[in-house]
Structure 1
Amino acid sequence: MPDRRTVGRTLGAASLAVLGWGAWRWSQPDGPPAPPPLAKPPAPTTAAPRPSARPAPWTGPVLRRSVPVRLAIPKIRLEAFVDAVGLTRDGRVETPSYAQPTRAAWYRYGPTPGEPGPAVILGHVDSKSKVAVFFYLTRLTSGAAVEIGRADGSRAVFTVESVERFAKTAFPTERVYAGSPVPQLRLVTCGGQFDRRRQEYLDNVIVFARLTGVTSAASTGPGPGGKPR
């Protein structure tokens, strides 16, 4: 497991372009966008911040690190195995296996599902001969459940907050990878129009979800304040 400094550097460079089978190159030949700059400290002020401007502390479940192995989305009747991907030598996120397009892939340098922050799982939308693991992702709506089976035997349940589409040239790196005390999930695939000349989809479809349940309390770690859940 990399240290937090390594994760911070890799997440900034990890703007995704998850491809359909026919897409043999990235939508940005010169590489993904530059990492987002480090946040600057706020300017000094004499005015006290309003309590309503401060985010509420996370009081939900928090899980220890354990890699995802299965993915289920009942609404679209999806059940799939989950592999892992890292970074290529030039700092891009590895593409999930073309040989097994019905499997998803978790970005191993980010949080595991249920840890604080966004766990990112990628998948193809189609293959040369059939639909792939995330073909029906656009059918999800707010409130749908996404269940992640983890290697420790626990199951993290996430609730979809939104399903959005972005041009690959405007991939929302901060929204997908930015750290957070809240355990979150991002599902990423291709979408939009398929450019036959370039042999790639022009957009990314991203599901944004947050943790709302855990099936095994024995696998949970300390919550805020260090108290076990």
Structure 2
Amino acid sequence: MILCLIALTCSTALAFEPSPLQDFCVADSASPALVNGKFCKDPKLADAKDFFYSGLHLPGNTSNFLGSKITPVNVAQLPGLNTLGISMVRIDFAPCGVNPPHYHPRASEIFTVLEGTLHVGFVTSNPENRLISKVLLKGDVFVFPMGLIHFQRNMGYGNAIAIAAFGSQYPGSVTIANAVFGSNCNIPSEVLTKAFQLDNNVIDYLEAKF
């Protein structure tokens, strides 16, 4: 059942990268060439291991402050995904665990619940900033449009598992709290105090957390 859901999720993800001009372009991580993506290795050297990943059946370690763990399968883990415009993740949630507000700059996401009960949602862009959310049960599917802030939260008493597919070989992820309060170097406190309408001491406290 789980394998069927994974296959369905992956098959419905639409490619975002330009259409490839060859059968495949296995990523050559050793190449010094800088391109928008990964440089292709000689296709004559490609073999089955370039198109294979094993590990999504393993539960993620959720013993962290978020109570969630993401196991990615993108071009960094699976070189054969290079230029194909798809990738996926497994997300494990402990009870009350969250995947905090974040967005993917390069892909939309289609999200399938394999086990548990999850509250999910995304926020539309300015000036509306409207929350669109729903409680999902096992087998339910939800879509997060590219570039919009979204989240997932385990509402059940047990662990939850989800599979998400993306329309990019490397969708990227920007976690809002980390980016705003944990940037390297820090965003000036004058900017953050006005943006969040908070005292400077609160901003300092939040930056120390991240």
TM (norm. structure 1) is 0.28
Q: Larger Cα Rg: Structure 1 or Structure 2?
A: 2
Say which structure is richer in strand: 1
TM (norm. structure 2) is 0.30
